[in-house]
Amino acid sequence: MNWTDERVERLTKLWAEGLSASQIAAQLGGVSRNAVIGKVHRLNLPGRAKAGGATSATPRPAAKRVASSAPRPQSNFAARPQTRTVQRPVGATMVREEMEMDDAQEVAVYKPAGNIVVPINRKLALTELTERTCKWPMGDPLKDDFHFCGAESPDNSPYCKYHGRMAYQPVNERRNKAVARAS
C-alpha cells in the first residue's frame, strides 16, 4: 500500500479532525496505526497537544531490533466471506440505509465499548451488510473503494469499536436471536 496523494490528503484531513491513528488506519485501510503515525511525523503534521501538564518529548529509548526472520503478518482484513447476506435491492434501499446511518450517528458514542471486542473494519459492500454489521460509510462514495465498516457485533452489543453505537438496528435483535436459536 503506497501513500498516494489522495491517501495522504485523507490522512491529513482525518488527523486534523482529531481522529486517532488507529481510527485513521481503519478508515484508510491497508495500513497499521504505526504506519499512520509514522507518516504523520514524516509529513511534519502537528502532533497531538497534551492536556495540561508539560508532558513532552518522550526521551528516546532506543528500540531493540529483533534479528528477524521477520514473520510479519499483515493484511488486516479478515477474509470477506460473508455468511449472512441480506437481500436488498441496492437502488431503492439506498435511501433507507442512509437514514439509518444518520440515526446511528446521532447517538454515536466515540469511545471504545468497554471490554467488548469487535472485529476491525471488514470493508463490506452495501449488499453485504446485515442487521448487526456496522454501517459506517468509509471512503469516497463516488469512487470504487467506497465501502462500509462492516464490523459485526459478536455478542449483540450495539457498539462498533471505532464507530460507537452504530447502526446495528436493535429492532432486529430479537429476530436474530431467534434465528440463532433455531440453527
Q: Which of 107, 84, 86 is CA-nearest to residue 166? A: 107
Number of residues that bind DNA (CB under 7 A): 38
Q: For residue 135, what are the CA distances in angstroms to 103, 139, 152, 156?
A: 11, 13, 10, 15
Q: Which residues pair with 124 in a beta bridge?
A: 148
> In the bound complex, what is the minimum distance in angstroms from residue 172's beta carbon to DNA?
26
Residue 66 touching DNA (CB under 7 A): yes
126 touches 148 (CB < 8 A):
yes
CA-based torsion, 155, 29, 6, 46: positive or negative: positive
From residue 119 to residue 158, the character string flagging contacts with DNA as x (rule: CB under 7 A) and all else as - is: ----------------------------------------
Smallest distance from DNA to CB 6, Å = 13
Among 5, 17, 54, 58, contact with DNA (rule: CB under 7 A) = 58
Residue with smaller CB distance to DNA, 10 or 88: 10
CA dihedral defined by 114, 118, 121, 125, rounded to 10 degrees? -120
| Site membership for DNA, residue 175 (CB under 7 A) | no
Applying CB under 7 A, among 5, 17, 54, 61 the residue interacting with DNA is 61
Residue with cell 471488514: 122
Sites of contact with DNA (CB under 7 A): 1-3, 20-23, 31-35, 37-42, 47-48, 53, 55, 57-66, 68, 70, 72, 74, 112, 161
